[in-house]
Amino acid sequence: MNLNLTHKNALVCGSTQGIGKASAIQLATLGANVTLVARNEEKLNDVLSELPTDQGQSHTYVVADFLDPEKLQQKISRTNHIYHILINNTGGPAAGPVFGATLDEFERAFTQHLKCNHVLVQSVVPGMKTEGYGRIINVISTSVKQPLNGLGVSNTIRGAVGNWSKTLANELGAYGITVNNVLPGATATERLNEIINNKAKKTGKSVEEISETMMNEVPAKRFAKPEEIANAIAFLASEAASYINGINVPVDGGRTKSL
Ligand SMILES: NC(=O)c1ccc[n+]([C@@H]2O[C@H](COP(=O)([O-])OP(=O)(O)OC[C@H]3O[C@@H](n4cnc5c(N)ncnc54)[C@H](OP(=O)(O)O)[C@@H]3O)[C@@H](O)[C@H]2O)c1
């Protein structure tokens, strides 16, 4: 099975921590040249220094905010790279019930998750078509399949990203480009810490109690490590996944209650 990514250029978004960082490390380990994207330049530099270069890989970063799609697109165009792999990933929307959500919260989440994914795809697809190789992988959430309580704006926007992605897969498949979604379950990152702390504050329960309840909902009885999500992402990015297109891959230890 060919998992080798030598001479492939990967644009990995939201890569200063968590799932994005683990994905950048895994793709670079398989030989890819990685361009990191996030807001915090200090952390970008730290991650850059952790990426392996033993196979001649060359890595760089772009500082950009996913709340400004136009600027993001300009900055990516200026890198003048052909990208073979795009990992669409950014911070999750704030938690809370959908009924009380403000219009601004929906707009921000739509911009950050859908509009930014879209401008990135528009930037990288011409190069992917030239190369006859493209892997677009969207990090979404299992809420695409089953809404999660207390994540109202997130549940809503994730559905939109899922359908955008499936539509793109239909349009781009003929060019050797695949578009797939990885749906993480509860994964031990800053995002999960925020969600747990938020629940603890709201319910008056301890962080340990909330964590245990959440782990008990997972057949695996534990949270995922970011590397376990990154492994699925790296496989989908490889030649080995060439005939896998337009699907959702839940990586959730079996938590989702449907197929
Ligand atoms: N962890 C979980 O349990 C879980 C479960 C299901 C789905 N997910 C989803 O998977 C995705 C990644 O999750 P994670 O847990 O790895 O999140 P995380 O630990 O919060 O990391 C988010 C990454 O995105 C970057 N980012 C955040 N806001 C940004 C913005 N406005 N512009 C550019 N970059 C931004 C952050 O870097 P900077 O701060 O440097 O910009 C960081 O590198 C999120 O959409 C999350 O909701 C996570």
pLDDT at 38: 98
Question: Is 204 inside a domain boundary?
Answer: no
Pick the atom of ligand 1 nearest to 65's CA: 32
Q: Is residue 141 part of a domain?
A: yes
207 within some domain: no
Domain, as residue range, for 58: 9-186+224-251
- Total number of domains in the chain: 1
pLDDT digits (tens, 9 = 90+) for 21-57: 999 999 999 999 999 999 999 999 999 999 999 999 9
216 domain residue, yes or no? no
Pocket test for ligand 1, best of 13, 15, 17 (most atoms within 8 A of CB): 17
Classify residue 210: in a domain, yes or no.
no
Task: Report yes or no on whether pTM surpasses 0.85.
Answer: yes
Q: Nearest CA to 83 among 157, 133, 20? A: 133
The 10s digit of each residue's pLDDT in 129-185 is 999 999 999 999 999 999 999 999 999 999 999 999 999 999 999 999 999 999 999
pLDDT (average), residues 82-93: 98
Instruction: Give the 3-state DSSP-derived string for 152-180, with helices as H, strands as E and coil as C.
Output: HHHHHHHHHHHHHHHHHHHHHHHHCEEEE
Residue 101 lies in a domain: yes
- Give the whole-number percent of the chain exceeding pLDDT 90: 100
Is residue 64 included in any domain, yes or no?
A: yes
Across 93-247, the runs of DSSP E, i.e. the strands, are 134-139, 177-184
Give residue 130 CA to ligand 1 midpoint distance, Å: 31
> CATH number, domain at 73?
3.40.50.720
In a domain, 218, yes or no: no
Q: Tell me the CA distances in angstroms from 4 to 8, 9, 55, 83, 103, one per residue in order.
A: 9, 12, 11, 16, 44
